[in-house]
Amino acid sequence: MVAISRLHHWRLLFALALVAVAGAAWACGGSDDGGGSARSGGAAGPLEVRLVADEGGGALTFEPKEIRARVGQTVRLVLDNKGLALHDFNVVDMPVRVVMATGAEHGGHETGAEGDSGMALHVASDPGQRGELEFVPLEPGTYVFFCSVPGHQEAGMEGQIIVS
């Protein structure tokens, strides 16, 4: 009878452990919709996005084409230039607080009185290099990001940031 009692005890512990694991998995949520967008998770830390710029197959592209973030969430964007030309990442008219930006120096942009590029967000990357940008979106909306090198946006180097 003692052996049956111990067996019952272990079965009960095993069942409770399964319930705890299932509950934790359900609480973490998240889904993989198979889309090519970078999404913010439920975590309190910054959203990290690796944006690849490339001219592969003769097409100018950014990957992913869609980035999702939340108002007030820190976004750390890494512009990874896999191409043979300088590429940059720009967003106009997006209310944002820029935390940090590093990357390639380049001209060809209209500049304001403060030497600003006129872009709400801007970071550039030389071929084979990467630039980094950390920012906090301040208002919800859908904003276009693009490469401002002449002809690149028109050739397909653009996407959107969706802030909720």
Which tens digits make up the pLDDT trace of 74-126?
A: 999 999 999 888 999 999 999 999 998 887 765 544 333 333 445 689 999 99
In the chain, where the domains are located: 1-30, 37-163
- Where are any strands of DSSP class E within the chain? 37-38, 47-54, 61-63, 66-69, 75-81, 87-91, 96-102, 121-125, 130-137, 141-146, 158-163
List Cβ neighbours of 2 (8 Å cut-off, separation of 6 or more): none
Q: List, for residues 136-151, the tens digit of each pLDDT value.
A: 999 999 999 999 999 9
Check residue 3 and give its pLDDT.
53
- One-letter amino acid for residue 28 of the chain: C
Give domain 37-163's CATH superfamily.
Cupredoxins -  blue copper proteins (2.60.40.420)
> What's the predicted TM-score (pTM) here?
0.66
Q: List, for residues 44-73, the tens digit of each pLDDT value.
A: 578 889 989 888 777 888 999 999 999 999
